[in-house]
Amino acid sequence: MMQDIEKQKKHVAEKTKEVEAEETVAKAKKEEADSIQKDCEEELSKVMPIYNAAMKAVSDLDKNDITEIRSMKKPPDGALLVMKAMCIMFNVAPEKVKGANVKDVQWDYWEPAKKKLLGPETLKKCQTYDKDNLNPDIAEKLKPLIADPNFQDDVLRNASKAAWGLAKWLRAII
């Protein structure tokens, strides 16, 4: 019996060492996870006010604002840029437009945006957009557009209330 007890003591001592080693690793991983969580919470606290302001900008828009931008015959560059970004965001393909030179093909986002995006459901689409599952490729395509000087609030506020509100929403989502 004493020999069995000694064997069991040795076995318990070995298991205790293993458990202590695992506990050390687990504590280190927990500390790392806590640090990541803290960083995420800090970033979220910075971003949420921007997102909330953007959602308010979209909710402040109404169908008349959408109708106004949709009825523009010669939209300002900022409005065109916002509609291009909206088309990319909602996977609306541009139309080919031939330029002055036959080989000069350009892509038009304005007409597809008017036909497929700028309608009564536009604001609802923005409000219910799944921001947590944004395709990274879409975000990369939109970053240069958002960085364009014509995409800035002061330019867009003068161009169109709808373009300004949608641009705020786009910036917040990206």
Task: Please determine, for residue 30, whether its predicted confidence score (pLDDT) is greater than 80.
Answer: yes
The answer to whether 96 touches 105, Cβ cutoff 8 Å, is: yes
* Beta-bridge partners for 97: 106
Burial of 39 (0-12, 13-18, 19+ CB in 10 A): exposed
Q: Tell me if 77 is assigned to some domain.
A: yes
Q: Tell me if 84 is assigned to some domain.
A: yes
Q: Tell me if 23 is assigned to some domain.
A: no
Average pLDDT score over residue span 89-118 = 84
Question: What CATH number did the domain enclosing 108 receive?
Answer: 1.20.920.60
Q: List, as one string, the DSSP characters of 106-159.
A: EEE-HHHHHHHTSSTTHHHHHHT--GGG--HHHHHHHHHHHHSGGGSHHHHHHH
**Domain containing residue 68:** 61-173
Q: What is the pLDDT of residue 59?
A: 83
Exposure on the CB side of residue 166, measured as CA atoms within 13 A: 30
Q: Tell me if 24 is assigned to some domain.
A: no
Q: Tell me if 78 is assigned to some domain.
A: yes
Q: Tell me if 126 is assigned to some domain.
A: yes
Q: Tell me if 127 is assigned to some domain.
A: yes
CB proximity list for 130: less than 8 A, separation 6 or greater? none
The answer to whether 161 touches 61, Cβ cutoff 8 Å, is: yes
Q: Tell me if 113 is assigned to some domain.
A: yes
**pLDDT one-digit tens code per residue, 115-149:** 998 888 888 888 888 888 889 999 999 999 999 99
Total count of domains within the chain:
1
How far is Cα 21 from Cα 17, in angstroms, rounded to an integer?
Answer: 6
Q: For residue 131, what is the DSSP state?
A: G
